[in-house]
Structures are given as structure tokens and as C-alpha cells.
Amino acid sequence: MTEMLKVTVDRRHPMAVIYTEGYINNQGGEEIARVAYDLIDDDHKVLLLNLQGTKIVNSIGISILIEIIEKMLEIDGRLAFCNLTPTIEKTFHIMGLAQYAKIYPDEGVAIGELSG
Amino acid sequence: MSWEDVLGAARLREGERAFLVRLLQLLCESRGLKAAALYSGSEECFERQVMWGSEAFPASIDGDDSGGYESLELPEGRLLFAPGEEDWKRPKGPIVLALASGLRAAVLRLQLKEQSFVVNYRGVELEALYEVGLAIASMLNLEQLGEEILLRAVSLLDARRGALYLRSGGRLVLDHTLGGDAMPELPLDDPQVAQVLGPGLGGEQHLLPGARHLMAVPVGAEPNSRGILVIADKESRHGVGPFPESDRRTLALFANQAATALETAYLHRQALEKERLEREIELAADIQRRLLPTAIPVAEGFELAGWSRPARHVGGDFYDLMRLKQGRVGAVLADVSGKGLPAALMVSTIHSSLRLLVDREGVGPGLVQHLNRHIAASTAPNKFITLLVVELDPSSNEVRYVNAGHNPGVVIGSDGNVRELASGGLPLGLFGESSYESGSLVLEPGDLLCLYSDGLTECESPSDEEFGLPRLVDLLRASSDRSLSEVIRDVDAAVTDFAQGLSQGDDQTLVLLRRTA
């Protein structure tokens, strides 16, 4: 069973893919935010969160993801998600994240569209 | 920066934050300030909303602390600013009024956002509860189901850690854990577990080592609960804390839904297991049917027949009729201890061993000793086989036999006398070095040799009476004018009538050999 969230990044300037593995809770969300803000400071304006390794997210994690989305909107950037479990995808829709961040079925489709 | 620029930002819908940043810039430029920051909050704590300039204003400040900066109280927060090198003025006038209004709008927007978040997350909670009863209930893989239940419980209640324990015998075994170590198993009589499963739910237990705030509920109602669901350390943006009482009700409701889902999955697994066993038994029964003789050996002056009715799909009885060298004929009836698949495997073993050895060695002590050694070496110590094997030499009308612990076969003479086939030794498989002896007798015209299994003579009636050997012998005595296939039908009918529909626990097998001339 997954313990602390692990985050890795694939930089493809001006885009970056953030991979998560584990529980997106308070600690996990803050780690994602730290990585995302570093990327924003490094002038990455398109961020793709690949949640293939994440099966669980709680409300604190969601609130932090919303903050990242707001930050991206402020800089006229874009945040998108891919590889969500059905449960997490449904949660994102209910919580309104899907209104401001597009959800793609997989990374290939996401990169193809976000790069275009 | 001018008022027109600020209003322009508002018209361009750059957003509330950009509008406030431009206001701060206008304030700084018009009052000779280096930097300024706008905080929202109450008397105890203020959080930074926007700032302008190169100063590193703190993200939050306490009520009495302004971080060494000049400050100005606003209705919904506080303005911090760093004066310029020279000729600066304290903020006042329409810009401060505009900042206060903008801050008020920002605070209202934040409150609205928080309320909207709470309402939306309530939707997520309801969805999770609904789906436990729907999506999870349709999840029939127990391994996946256990993980799904734990993940949903932990996320639903913003727990940092959790564990699901399921009953296995007299203990609770850890099924899944999240966020840290958990005890691998818990005895049901553990006081902490007893408190969770008992009526006095609650208390800060320590079922998860290292957890600071713990909540546990039974999965399903006692005394038939499936296990316990434990979550720990309620998260917030500031750390972890205890769970409110309303969370316990939510978790208990969730756990009840989970119990139903687990019950469904258990039943499904049992059904699959039963189906698999039935397929295996059917396969074994098919193999065993193929072991029964398909053709009756012909011996001039003699008539042979065999019949078997298994108590289950796969029985422990076995008989065979074999053509041997020099026109001889062999017959065997064996009864394997136990029933079902293990018995079928032993039947298969004895069948192949006997077929391999009997033609080479003929029926005698050597054959049975070989069989015994083989069975003793290849089966469990508590398994054994009783066996009665006979060999008929039609040229001399002599029958040679060895009885390895089986019911003595009988020969019913044309005069009504009965002789028993008792010589032999212990059942096969008990002791590898057992010795055996053979017996022999000569069949006269009209003599009927009968091998039978105890399932036939011990067949029970509803009044607990056994069919018994005397009834069988009487039937056979009265059958001298009937063919052996008719005799078998008579025995079958008599035993069936005797049982009056009562299910029998043992196989019933009969082998008959009659000298006709």
C-alpha cells in the first residue's frame, strides 16, 4: 500500500509533466504545490498532472490542487490532469476542478493536445 | 500607475488579485512607500492576500505582530507597508477606502469559495456512501474490495492513516493499511478490540501504533461483524487533530455499507469455490467411471457381473473384472477410506497398480504385498484401502483369493451353504511391510461367488436398521434361476426399497461370479 506521496517531474519546456505516486492529502498536496510553483517560477506555463500512481485524494489535497489551478490561471497558464481513477475523476467533477482543468484519459492524448 | 490604470485592470477582468495589486502599487507610488501587503483576518491571525514591492512580507502574522512593518488596521484585515527612504506619507484617503472595499470583496469571495467547497465535498461524501452500496457492492474481488473500502474511508473523512482488519477464525487479520504500520493481527479478546466491537464504542485506542487521534468502528453489526475499520489523525491545512463525533456516524454508516459489500463478495467467492469443486468432482467422477470395466470377460461355464452406486459423485469403492493369462479371469473389489477427490485419486492409483502387476504376478500374497508397499508409500498415513481380489481358473474351477481387510466375500452353494473368503491380511496402506496369505476354493455348478462393499450390507433404513449380510445372502440364494444382471437389479431394488429414500453415506458395490456348468 502506498505511503507518502512521491513526486517526479518530466520537464518539456514550456510544458512539464508531474507524476504522483501515493496519497494526495495535506502533505502530498503541499509537495505537489511546491513542485508546481517551482516549475511556474521556471517559466513553465503548462502543467500536466499524471495521477496514474495515485488511488486516493482527500479534501485537503483537493483544496491545494484548486490553489494550484488558481495560480495557473493568474499567470495565464494551464493545468491539466490525466490517468485518473474513475473515483478521483468523479470527485474532481463534483468539486469543480474539471471546470478549470481539463482531464485527459492518458498522457499521450494530453501531451498531443496541450502541445498543439 | 494611475487611477485609470487601476480601473482599466478592473475592466479587463484581470481578476480581483490583479486589481488589488495595482491598487497597492498606486498607493506605494503616491505615498512614497517601498512596498505594501494586504492581509485578511481577525484579531488573532492575518493571512496575506496580495503584496507589491520587493519586501518579503510574511505569509501570515499574529494579531499583535506586524513583522516590524508599519501597519494600518482595516475593517476586514490589515495593511502592512515599508516606508520609502524619504518623504513618505501614511496611507489614507480614497486609495485606502478602495483597498478596504477590495479586501472586503476578497474576503466575501473567500468565504463563498469555502462554503462552496464544503457543499461540494458533502456531495463527494454522499457519492462515496452511495457508491459503497453500488459500485463496491458489485466488486466481487475480495482483495480489491478491501483496498477500496479502506481508501474511501480514509479519503472520505480526511484521515491521514487507516487500516482494515477482517475476521479470520478467532482473530482479526490485517487486510490493508494506509499511511503507516499496523498490527498484523489482533485477537478478538484484545480489550481494545472488544471495546470497538462492543457496545461502548469510542475512546482513543491505539490500534495503529504511533497514531495520535484514532477512530474505529465494527464492519457490520455484532456478533457477525466482518472486522473493524480504523482511521487515524484527521487532517487540516495546519496538521492533524481528533475526529468530530459526526465523523463517527459517517464512518459507521460507511462500515455498514462495506459489510454488505464484503458479505456479497464472500458469498460470491464461496459460490465460485463450490462451482470449481463441483467441476473437479465431476471430472474425477468421469475418470472413475472410465476405470470401471467396459466389457465383461468371458469364461466358458461361468457368468460374471459387477455393479456400483457411489454415495457422492466420486466414491471410494472400486471394482474391476480382468482377463488374465491362460484364460484365467480376475475380479477385484476395493473400498478406499474417505470419499470425494482424495478417494478418487487412491482408486486411480490402485486401479493402475493392480492392472500392471496382476498379469505378471497373478493373484497371490506377492501381488498384494507389492500393492500394499506402493499404497503405503504413496498415500497419507491415515488413508487405507480394503481389497478382495480373486482369480478364477476356468479349467479347474478353482478360485484363488487374497483378502486385505475387506468384508469376507461369500460363496453360496447350490445347496444353500455359505463359505467365506477370509484369508489375507491387513488393509493396504497401513503398514508397508504387512504380509498376506491367500486362500482357495473350488466352485461347483450353481455356486455363486459374491464380493460386496460394506455400503451395501450397512445400508440404513429410516428406522436405523441395517440391510445386513443375511438379507443379501437370502436374496442371492433365491436367485439361482435368474441371470446375474437380473440378480443385480433385484439387489438394487431391494436395497432401494429398504432405504426408503434415506440418503446413504457410503458407496454400494457388488461383484458376482457364478459357475453355470
pLDDT, tens only, B294-342: 888 988 999 999 999 887 656 678 899 999 988 999 999 999 887 667 7
Q: Do B121 and A1 touch (CB under 8 A)?
A: no
Residue among A26, A51, A84, A89 with most chain B CBs within 10 A, to mutate:
A26
Going by pLDDT thresholds of 50, 70 and 90, the confidence category of residue A25 is: very high
**Cα B299 → chain centroid:** 56
Is B235 close to A25, i.e. CB distance below 8 A? yes
Place of cell 438379507: B471
Is the Cβ of A1 closer than 8 Å to some Cβ of chain B?
A: yes
Contact call for B151 and A2, based on CB within 8 A: no
In 3D space, the residue among B515, B315, B336 whose CA is nearest the CA of residue B430 turns out to be B336
The pLDDT of residue A2: 42
**B177 close to A (CB below 8 A):** yes
Question: Backbone phi, then psi, for B174, in 5-degree steps?
Answer: -65, 120
Answer whether A74 touches B (CB < 8 Å): yes
Q: Do residues B363 and B336 lie in contact, with contact meaning Cβ atoms separated by under 8 Å?
A: no
The pLDDT of residue B253 is 87
What pLDDT score does A3 carry?
58
| Residue of chain A with shortest Cα separation from B115 | A95
Residue B247 CA to residue B425 CA, distance in Å, equals: 73
**Domains of chain B: residue spans and CATH:** 3-112 (3.30.450), 139-267 (3.30.450.40), 292-515 (3.60.40.10)
Question: Is the pLDDT score of A1 beyond 60?
Answer: no
Q: Measure in Å the smallest separation between the Cα of A91 and chain B Cα atoms.
A: 6
CA B306 to mean position of chain CA atoms: 43
Of A7-11, A16-20, B135-139, B510-514, the poorest mean pLDDT is in B135-139
Radius of gyration of chain B, Cα coordinates, nearest whole angstrom: 44
Give how far B178 is from chain A: nearest CA, Å.
6
Nearest to B155 among A57, A74, A90 (CB): A57
Q: Which residues of chain B have pLDDT under 70?
A: 6, 8-15, 132-133, 135-137, 194, 196-206, 312-315, 339-340
C-alpha B118: how far from its chain's center?
Answer: 39
Query: What residues of chain B lie within 8 A of the CB of A58, using their CB?
Result: 154-156, 158-159, 235
Is the ipTM, as predicted for this complex, more than 0.85? yes
Q: What CA–CA distances, in Å, run from B193 to B137, B187, B343? A: 26, 8, 43
Contact assessment for residue B374 and residue B346, using Cβ atoms and an 8 Å cutoff: no
Q: Is the peptide bond before B365 cis (omega within 30 degrees of 0)?
A: no
- B413 and B446 Cβ atoms separated by less than 8 Å: yes
pLDDT for B62 equals: 85
Return d(Cα B315, Cα B507) in angstroms, integer.
6
Q: What are phi and psi of B116, to 5 degrees?
A: -65, -40
- In DSSP terms, A78 is beta-bridged to A46
Domain extent listing, chain A: 6-108
Contact call for B152 and A63, based on CB within 8 A: no
- At what angle are helices B94-131 and A59-74 packed, to 10 degrees? 140
Report the distance separating Cα B52 and Cα B56, nearest Å: 10
CA separation for the pair B84, B105 (Å, rounded)? 29
Give A80→chain B minimum CA distance, Å.
20
How high is the pLDDT of residue B312? 64
Instruction: Report pLDDT digits (tens) over A36-91.
Output: 999 999 999 999 999 999 999 999 999 999 999 988 988 889 999 999 999 899 88
Question: Which SS3 state, helix, strand or coil, does residue B209 take?
Answer: coil
Closest to A18 in 3D by CA, of A110, A112, A96:
A110
Partner-chain contact B180 A3, CB within 8 Å: yes
For residue B478, which of B448, B498, B440 has the smallest C-alpha distance?
A: B448
CB nearest B154 (choices: A56, A63, A91): A56
φ, ψ dihedrals at B161, nearest 5°: -135, 165
Judged by a CB distance cut-off of 8 A, whether residue A62 touches chain B is yes
Q: Closest Cα partner for B337 from B352, B309, B321, B318?
A: B318
How far is the C-alpha of B508 from the C-alpha of B328, rounded, in Å? 26
Task: State how far the Cα of B238 lies from the Cα of B176, in Å rounded to an integer.
Answer: 27
Render pLDDT for B467-482 as a digit per residue (tens, 0 to 9).
999 999 999 999 888 9
The pLDDT, as a whole number, for residue B205 is: 53
- Cβ separation of A59 and B121 shorter than 8 Å? yes
Instruction: Tell me the pairing of strands B409-412 and B60-62.
Output: unpaired
Residue pair B317/B510 in contact (Cβ under 8 Å)? The answer is no
DSSP string, B275-343: HHHHHHHHHHHHHHHHHS-SSPPP-TTEEEEEEEE-SSSS-SEEEEEEE-GGG-EEEEEEEESS-HHHH
CB of A28 closer than 8 Å to CB of A22: yes
Cβ density class A38-53: b for 16+ within 10 Å, e for less: ebbeeebbbbbbbbee
B237 touches chain A (CB under 8 A): yes
pLDDT in tens, B179-204: 888 888 887 777 777 676 654 444 44
Radius of gyration, CA atoms only, chain A: 13
pTM (two decimals): 0.58
Q: Where do we find the cell 475387506?
A: B406
Q: Give the 3-state DSSP-derived string for B99-164, with helices as H, strands as E and coil as C.
A: HHHHHHHHHHHHHHHHHHHHHHHHHHHHHHHHHHHHHHCCCCCHHHHHHHHHHHHHHHCCEEEEEE
Contacts of A63 in chain B (CB under 8 A): 117, 237
- What is the pLDDT at residue B43? 75
Q: How, if at all, do strands B77-83 and B409-412 pair?
A: unpaired
Fold of A6-108: Transcription Regulator spoIIAA (3.30.750)
